[in-house]
Amino acid sequence: MTTSPSTSITTPSRHSLERRLKEVKVSKSDLNALVMDYLDREGYPSAAQKFASEANIQPTSSVDSIQERVAIREAIYRGDIQSAIERINELNPMLLEKDETLHFALLRLQLVELIRSCGLTSTDDPTPAINFATTELGPRAETNPQFLEDLERTMTLLMFEQKDLPPQYATLLDRKLRVDVARRVNEALFTEQVERTKTKLSLLIHLHVWAEQKFVEGNKELPAYLRFWHVLDNDNQGNDHDGMQSSGEAATMASEPAARIEEV
């Protein structure tokens, strides 16, 4: 009778980063603060109020202020930019006066919506869009080269019928432009309210991606299961991301200054 040799199974050693991550202890109060911060920032007033009560913590913003930001965001999503601007001025009269870039982005989006409503065929009347561009955006573009470039690119939409728009101009009519402007407006309003520029969850994501980039730069191997974008892509495989595309967004996050990450 022959006996088969025993097979030894070697348990793989943990990666040093994994060991260090497991050593980090996160308190319940810190987790509650992160969740509260996210609900407030992203505009979930009912959930924020309920979570604050259950976790026995103070919400960062009032329910009314969160609802106002949500109403502004929804107005931008549906293309009602004039209503959004009026609401912004009611909520924070100085914001658009101080942030000229944000104000121009809103006005430019309003111009895009006017062009969209005018239609993009040879029989449509572009006069409302031209008048708006002349009175509202022209004076601002005269003193800012970037504004001028953006305005000229937007006005180029009037030179083509919609079916003939080159890809580089067709993106201006993509609904994602509304999402981008709405995000910037929400960030600006939130920052004015609580004096922060990003949610803590967002900054932690930036920190993780920044650390990954440092590993890459140092030619160090990082297991796939510890890579943030590897996990994200697996979770969203086959889905169309509205907000972030992993490759481009990862590069942007990794280039963030360490000083901003240290705000966490």
Q: Is the pLDDT of residue 258 over 90?
A: no
Taking only the tens place, the pLDDT of each residue in 111-152 is 999 998 876 555 578 899 999 999 999 999 999 999 999 999
Cβ neighbours for 28, distance < 8 A, ≥ 6 positions apart: none
- CA atoms of 109 and 104, how far apart (whole Å): 8
Report whether 40 contacts 66 (CB < 8 A): yes
Q: How far is CA 236 from CA 35, 43, 96, 226, 240, in A?
A: 22, 23, 36, 17, 8
> Given a cut of 70, is residue 109 above it in pLDDT?
yes
For residue range 65-104, list pLDDT tens digits in order. Answer: 889 999 999 999 999 999 999 999 999 999 999 999 999 9
Q: Specify the pLDDT at position 4.
A: 54
Question: Average model confidence (pLDDT) for the chain?
Answer: 77
pLDDT at 39 over 80: yes
At residue 6 the predicted structure's pLDDT band, cuts being 50, 70 and 90, is low
